[in-house]
Structure 1
Amino acid sequence: MSDPILSVRNLTIDIPMSQNTMHAVRGISFDLKRGETLCIVGESGSGKSLTSLAIMGLLSKKLQRAATRLDFAGIDLMSQKLRQMRDLRGNRMAMIFQEPMTSLNPAYTIGDQLAEAYLLHRKATRVQARMRAIELLGKVGITAAENRLSQYPHQLSGGLRQRVMIAMALMCEPELIIADEPTTALDVTIQAQILRLLADLQREMNMAMILVTHDLGVVARVADKVAVMYAGEVVEQGTAKEIFGHPRHPYTRGLLRCIPVPGRSKPGEHLGSIPGMVPSLVGRVKGCAFRARCDVAEEACTAAIPERRMESGHAWRCIHQAAERLSP
């Protein structure tokens, strides 16, 4: 078996406050191999985007990042200085941000923004960078690519801006790409096109991809692995088949009840919902963070919840599982 290109162990992100600390991300661990897609799913505020920014080294200086292992292709990301991270970002690892209108610089043309990383990391000429930009714009489905280079972000539609962001991320053929809810602001038709495009490009370039989303329909279409986050913690992770076919954690089951199932959900039928609110992560978080919203919670849920794991790698944190189904 090939080694993972990205290995994360016990990643935590703390946000210092005036009189306390918010534990925004708590003990996240996962592995990702070349060519695989990991979908990180969960409610807004669960820590998905912070996890992505922590991997890229883009967190605010006020936030405190720690991990027992944060390894990318044999490189310890925790020990990399700013210049070393700049050599990696945009080159071997890249990110597609959630809102392209705020991620693209309105003062520069599309061509200048596409060429910047290529000029920096490939030591290429401007002519070479321009040709590469035209090639990538065509690859992501933008017509009249050469004419687009002189345009500014405000002159493009939302779908075109998102395609430009994808092309920008792919300029240097990265080994890892992180897409932070890349289809949130787009209509359904464009969403499907962007997801199909990302999947095709990933296969073509054999990239590892982390897709951050709260849309389980997206997850079902593209994921190899799924990590379900709740209140800053991964409560369940496994293959897409395991998560959708045999969910173990009550939160995962609750999420799946909230979406219609083709062939099973009847027209007009009420979908499920998860009552209550995500708990505060300020100060010490005790026991299972989901217990106040869980219909099978017990007194034991107030204590530390150990991780359960099957031989396949399917893992979750909950006391309500049959012991005979677990690996030793």
Structure 2
Amino acid sequence: MSAAEAPLVLDVQGLHVDIRTAAGVVHPVRDVSLQVRRGETLCVVGESGCGKSMTSLALMGLLPRAATRRARTMDFLGEDLGRADAKRMNALRGDRIAMVFQEPMTALNPAYTIGEQLTEHYRHHRDASPAQARERAVELLEKVGIASAGERLRQYPHQLSGGLRQRVMIAMALMCGPELLIADEPSTALDVTIQAQILRLLADLQKELGIAMVLITHDLGVVARIADRVAVMYAGQVVEEGTAAEIFARPQHPYTRGLLACIPVPGRTEPGSRLGSIPGVVPSLAGELRGCTFRERCPQATAACTQAIALRDAGAGRRWRCILETEAVPA
């Protein structure tokens, strides 16, 4: 079965997140639509402040208290997450839906051993005995490449390196055999060698277990290595979506092209040459936002960009949010 024929695991349409502050309402996620199928890796990419992590927290039901979410559809294998109450979300989190959080150096609780943190939710969701949970924890630690797994269970997070802590986080997310894994920048704060190991591990586990994965990152090198499909986010919106091959070979949105221009291309980028850059910063997401939010940074912006910009649908999941005609956008 091809990826396009695999059943949908997650179907999100029209997701909004609003946060009330003393200065007004902030809109970090605006009309986001995403789909991911079984065995598929969807990469959500964009610079800091574009709403990637807030989208993942909205899917997990872990938003701050001041935040609210709403969506036309939040379907997870036939279940409406938007209507699930706190008790139901607690039953889903860590069991059928799991998340690898940012910053492995701080994501684990320093007051508990690795074993205690790995086995707690497994015993809760599976009603397992301590011995069964420990056996499962050892199995998962070995699967993620940690030697002497039984001894590691007695250690505390401060006794492990950053790379080992991230492997523990991945093992923890996989303890109950989830059908959807959300990984929020899992290689952040790790050195380049360890980053490559973690990404290869995630890709291998995803293929072996056949789970759907949403990988959040700002690193296009990561996207090129692991993604099946890509959603590019800017200022809380998805501005372009397509297969990884389409995004890299023929980007349609000026923001996507700007991101790609910022990375060196082996064999094409001259050593010591100047890389591309995108001037300016992501706009404030407070208050009402009109038109294309990228227009202040876009070299091709026109007066028409101040109007509402709808997603243009080319079929087969290929979409972008720009008024430029396809022929006018360079490959």
TM-score (norm. length: structure 2): 0.96
Task: Say which SS state the counterpart of residue 116 (structure 2) adopts.
Answer: helix
Counterpart pick for 2:147 among 137, 143, 148: 143
- Quote the Cα distance in structure 2 between the aligned partners of 1:215 and 1:286: 28
Counterpart pick for 2:70 among 32, 41, 66: 66
Counterpart pick for 2:108 among 88, 104, 109: 104
- Quote the Cα distance in structure 2 between the aligned partners of 1:267 and 1:323: 32
Task: Give the equivalent residue in structure 2 for 1:300.
Answer: 304
Pairing 1:127-206 to 2, within 5 Å after superposition: 127-206=131-210
Task: Say which SS state the counterpart of residue 8 (structure 2) adopts.
Answer: coil
Identity of aligned residues (%): 64
Counterpart pick for 1:94 among 93, 98, 108: 98
Superposed CA deviations along residues 32-66 of structure 1, whole A, max 9, x for unmatched, are 10000000000101000000000011111210101
Superposed CA deviations along residues 164-214 of structure 1, whole A, max 9, x for unmatched, are 000000001100000000001100000000000001111111000000000
- Quote the Cα distance in structure 2 between the aligned partners of 1:324 and 1:16: 40
Query: Does structure 1 conserve the Cα–Cα contact (< 8 Å) formed by 2:252 and 2:326?
Result: no
Counterpart pick for 2:292 among 288, 308, 318: 288
Task: Say which SS state the counterpart of residue 301 (structure 2) adopts.
Answer: coil
Task: Give the equivalent residue in structure 2 for 1:243.
Answer: 247
Q: CA deviation at 1:322?
A: 3.3
Task: Say which SS state the counterpart of residue 214 (structure 2) adopts.
Answer: strand
Q: CA deviation at 1:323?
A: 7.5
Query: Does structure 2 conserve the Cα–Cα contact (< 8 Å) formed by 1:248 and 1:321?
Result: no
- Quote the Cα distance in structure 2 between the aligned partners of 1:92 and 1:289: 36
Q: 2:98 aligned with 1:120, yes or no? A: no
For 1:317, the aligned partner's letter is R
Q: CA deviation at 1:101?
A: 2.6
TM-score (norm. length: structure 1): 0.97
Q: Which runs of 5+ in 1 are unaligned?
A: none
Q: 2:280 aligned with 1:276, yes or no? A: yes
Q: CA deviation at 1:100?
A: 2.0
- Quote the Cα distance in structure 1 between the aligned partners of 2:104 and 2:188: 11
- The 4+ residue runs of structure 1 with deviation greater than 4 A are none
Query: Does structure 2 conserve the Cα–Cα contact (< 8 Å) formed by 1:13 and 1:64?
Result: yes
Task: Give the equivalent residue in structure 2 for 1:217.
Answer: 221
- Quote the Cα distance in structure 2 between the aligned partners of 1:189 and 1:19: 43
Q: CA deviation at 1:324?
A: 11
Between 1:10-19 and 1:287-296, the stretch displaced more is 10-19
Counterpart pick for 2:57 among 44, 48, 53: 53
- Quote the Cα distance in structure 2 between the aligned partners of 1:60 and 1:117: 22
**How many residues are treated as equivalent by the alignment?**
325
- Quote the Cα distance in structure 2 between the aligned partners of 1:18 and 1:313: 39
For 2:106, the aligned partner's letter is T
Q: Which runs of 5+ in 2 are unaligned?
A: none
For 2:177, the aligned partner's letter is E
Task: Give the equivalent residue in structure 2 for 1:15.
Answer: 19
Q: 2:1 aligned with 1:29, yes or no? A: no
Task: Say which SS state the counterpart of residue 45 (structure 1) adopts.
Answer: coil
